[in-house]
Chains A and B, each alone.
Chain A
Amino acid sequence: MSTLPRTAAPALAPIREAIRSGSAAQAQTILDTAERQAAEIRERGRSEAGQIRSRAEADGREAARAEAVLRSARARREAGRTVLAREEELREELRRQVLAEAARLRSDRRYPALLEALRDQARQLLGAGARTSEAPGGGITASLGSRSVDLSLPALGSAALERYAGEVRDLWQE
């Protein structure tokens, strides 16, 4: 290993100084860069966290909205079902009353005339030779060959309900 002569030291001093200050500056630059990068990372992290938070908030809001929509839809369905069930109850009640009224016709003084009219009706539908008999619930049943006709009071009551469906609807539409 060679050693420099003593006299070289003062001559090298400016170089040493230059190297030292150069490396100090470089260290400072590296430090500055690192700090800047750290700040950027911190900032990026913060903004990413912000984004995640706002996305999560949006997701949460959307989920809550969907849940609310579903819940209100179910509530409406339930309400609709209750209304429809009530309408059906009304219809059933009317049907019961109509059939009861129809049965009461048997004690009406015009009942024999009604039976005669129904016999005529049965003969019109089946032919003159139709055999008619009084139905157990009132009214007439008739048959001819393989054909038969049910003009009993319950059957006529049900048919009337079907025919006047519009009026039945008025029970809940008005």
Chain B
Amino acid sequence: MTVPNRNLVSHRDVRELRGPLMVVGDADGVGWDEFAGVDVEGGPERHALVLEVNGDQALLQVLEGTDGMRLGGISVRFQGRPLHIPVGPEWLGRVCNGRGEPLDGGPPVTADTVEPVGGWPLNPVYRIPPKEAVITGISAIDALTTLVRGQKLPIFSVAGLPHLTLATQIAAQSRSGGRNFRVVFAAMGMTHADIAYIRDRLEERSAAGELVLLLNAADDPVIERILTPRIALSIAEHLAYEEGSDVLVVMSDMTSYAEAVREVSAARKEIPARRGYPGYLYSDLATLYERCGRVQGREGSVTIVPVLTMPSGDMTHPVPDLTGYITEGQIVLSPDISARDIYPPVDVLSSLSRLMRSGAGKGRTREDHLDVAAQVLAAMARARQASELAELVGEDALGEADRAYIAFRSAVEEKLLNQGVDEYRSLEQTLGLAWEALALLPRRELSMISNELLDRYLPGPLGGARL
């Protein structure tokens, strides 16, 4: 009878405990990033990660912290490899904590395949560009900042705005043409009230076996928060590239994740960079965001929607700033629009999906989609100028065109952008609403759309009532 792997060997030479850190001696052969189980006398098993190795000493970070531990009563079992998790469709429909342990009363998730949570490096030339739209059923996104299979499109928000409602609505409603659509929702640093809200909102998709829910609460261990998105992405990669599904990974809130990175970095006494975040925050975020995409010869795709709250609405804060370097556009939520009771409060003039051209338009969504989006955005910019002018001279003093632009903006905000928190709008409905708003403008102003499309789609007699 052979018993493999060295995780049966317990190391008891624990030399120091400091904060979340633990120094273990006589640990020859242990490698960086190795995962370990920690048995504590009279307590449940804890988990640790090797941060550094020096000679025969290893420095570990204990996920659950070292509170209640004392030298002499601890034994550490190194697993001989970084944290691996089982991956496969067994995750679908399950609700787990940020470390992948069940919260739904079921057995631990097991599968025939295990993968490292950090993912395998992929030859960059095997990546193929994102293509085809993911329809979220939310007009503001589908019409103007279309999400594309394999894209990473963050939502930039501010505390107090309904970003969690939007994130859960995207997770609950999104679908792509034809293929299996699966969602992995990684919640990080959430309050228990938020967690209950997320579970309620995503119940239907979860019960349908299309959703994996990983929930890291605000009072859960900090390192766990660092693992949560990695576990989510490992699950997603397998579902996408092995099972052939289109997988959407929603990660909320990435600011909370970055704060966890900062906390761990401070515990390791690393030199802080901007606002105390470590200098490697950029590459750390990139190791997450860059795991999305499509792969040559494989069916599925991984699309990432990270949600981040900008402290004090500051877009130059390191987290949104560095995220913006890596991701392909952004959806910005605005407190001003939210104050006007418009949901989702998307600031369309600050939002952008850089890959929209790969996912929308003729042969992908609808022939008029890109032109309509361009025209709506151009008209919204002009409407902003007109409303600024109206504040100075009064609306009555404006010309006919400017008044039409202001009416257009109201129609866009109240009819096209404003939507119920459970409402699914098909792309046809969304584009129909956009055309209704455009019909409020004189036809001569619609210079970004060809006459042919205007004749076909503009409501009113002869393609536009206001000739």
A residues sitting closer than 8 Å to B (CB atoms) are 66, 69-70, 73-74, 76-77, 80-81, 83-85, 87-88, 90-91, 114, 117-118, 121, 125-126, 145-151, 155-156, 159, 165-166, 168-169
Which of B1, B2, B26, B86 has its CB near the most chain A CB atoms (within 10 A)? B1
- Would A118 and B12 be within 8 Å (CB), given that A69-B204, A80-B104, A147-B26 are in contact? no
Q: Does B106 contact A (CB under 8 A)?
A: yes
B residues sitting closer than 8 Å to A (CB atoms) are 1-3, 6, 8-13, 25-26, 75, 86, 90, 93, 102, 104-107, 110-112, 199-200, 203-204, 206-207, 422
What residues of A have a CB within 8 angstroms of the CB of B105 in the complex?
A: 81, 84-85, 88
What residues of A have a CB within 8 angstroms of the CB of B13 in the complex?
A: 145-146
Among B90, B106, B107, B204, point to the contact of A73 (Cβ < 8 A). Answer: B204
In the A-B complex, the 6 residue pairs with the smallest Cβ-Cβ separation, listed nearest first, are A84-B106, A165-B110, A146-B13, A73-B203, A76-B207, A91-B107
Q: How far is the CA of A114 from the CA of B11 in the complex (A)?
A: 25
Q: Is B207 a contact of A148 with CB atoms below 8 Å?
A: no
Q: Is A169 a contact of B93 with CB atoms below 8 Å?
A: no
Distance of B121 from chain A, by nearest CB (Å)? 27
- Would A121 and B1 be within 8 Å (CB), given that A73-B200, A126-B9 are in contact? yes
Q: Is A146 a contact of B107 with CB atoms below 8 Å?
A: no
What residues of B have a CB within 8 angstroms of the CB of A70 in the complex?
A: 200
Q: How far is the CA of A72 from the CA of B111 in the complex (A)?
A: 30
Distance of A154 from chain B, by nearest CB (Å)? 13
Could you list 9 further interchain pairs (A-B, Cβ under 8 angstroms) beyond the known A85-B105, A149-B10? A66-B422, A69-B422, A84-B105, A88-B105, A121-B3, A145-B26, A146-B25, A148-B12, A165-B110
- Would A121 and B203 be within 8 Å (CB), given that A85-B105, A88-B107 are in contact? no
What residues of B have a CB within 8 angstroms of the CB of A74 in the complex?
A: 203
Q: Is A118 a contact of B1 with CB atoms below 8 Å?
A: yes
Q: Is A148 a contact of B106 with CB atoms below 8 Å?
A: no
Distance of B89 from chain A, by nearest CB (Å)? 11
28 contacts between A and B (CB under 8 A): A66-B422, A69-B422, A70-B200, A73-B200, A73-B203, A76-B204, A76-B207, A80-B93, A81-B104, A84-B102, A84-B106, A88-B106, A90-B107, A117-B1, A121-B1, A121-B3, A125-B9, A146-B26, A147-B9, A148-B9, A148-B75, A149-B9, A149-B10, A151-B8, A156-B3, A165-B110, A166-B110, A169-B90
Q: How far is the CA of A91 from the CA of B25 in the complex (A)?
A: 37
Distance of B202 from chain A, by nearest CB (Å)? 9
Distance of B179 from chain A, by nearest CB (Å)? 24
Q: Is A147 a contact of B203 with CB atoms below 8 Å?
A: no
What residues of A have a CB within 8 angstroms of the CB of B203 in the complex?
A: 73-74, 76-77
Q: How far is the CA of A169 from the CA of B90 in the complex (A)?
A: 10
Q: Is B10 a contact of A150 with CB atoms below 8 Å?
A: yes
Among A121, A159, A165, point to the contact of B86 (Cβ < 8 A). Answer: A165
Q: Is A146 a contact of B11 with CB atoms below 8 Å?
A: yes
What residues of A have a CB within 8 angstroms of the CB of B422 in the complex?
A: 66, 69
Q: How far is the CA of A77 from the CA of B103 in the complex (A)?
A: 13
What residues of B have a CB within 8 angstroms of the CB of A66 in the complex?
A: 422
Q: Is B12 a contact of A146 with CB atoms below 8 Å?
A: yes
What residues of B have a CB within 8 angstroms of the CB of A147 in the complex?
A: 9-12, 26
Distance of A100 from chain B, by nearest CB (Å)? 19
What residues of A have a CB within 8 angstroms of the CB of B75 in the complex?
A: 148
Output the nearest chain A residue to B4 by Cβ-Cβ distance: A163
Output the nearest chain B residue to A83 by Cβ-Cβ distance: B106
Q: Is A159 a contact of B3 with CB atoms below 8 Å?
A: yes
What residues of B have a CB within 8 angstroms of the CB of A148 in the complex?
A: 9-10, 12, 75
Q: How far is the CA of A70 from the CA of B421 in the complex (A)?
A: 14
Q: Is B3 a contact of A166 with CB atoms below 8 Å?
A: no
Q: How far is the CA of A77 from the CA of B93 in the complex (A)?
A: 10
- Would A114 and B1 be within 8 Å (CB), given that A80-B104, A146-B25, A166-B112 are in contact? yes
Which of B3, B6, B203, B204 has its CB near the most chain A CB atoms (within 10 A)? B3
Output the nearest chain B residue to A169 by Cβ-Cβ distance: B110
What residues of B have a CB within 8 angstroms of the CB of A69 in the complex?
A: 204, 422
What residues of B have a CB within 8 angstroms of the CB of A118 in the complex?
A: 1, 3
Q: How far is the CA of A91 from the CA of B156 in the complex (A)?
A: 43
Q: How far is the CA of A144 from the CA of B86 in the complex (A)?
A: 33
Output the nearest chain B residue to A156 by Cβ-Cβ distance: B3
- Would A151 and B3 be within 8 Å (CB), given that A77-B207, A169-B90 are in contact? yes
Q: How far is the CA of A2 from the CA of B46 in the complex (A)?
A: 119
Distance of A135 from chain B, by nearest CB (Å)? 13
What residues of B have a CB within 8 angstroms of the CB of A88 in the complex?
A: 105-107
Q: Is B1 a contact of A149 with CB atoms below 8 Å?
A: no
Q: How far is the CA of A80 from the CA of B25 in the complex (A)?
A: 46
What residues of A have a CB within 8 angstroms of the CB of B12 in the complex?
A: 146-148
Among A76, A114, A149, A169, point to the contact of B8 (Cβ < 8 A). Answer: A149
Distance of B95 from chain A, by nearest CB (Å)? 9
Distance of A110 from chain B, by nearest CB (Å)? 10
Distance of B79 from chain A, by nearest CB (Å)? 12
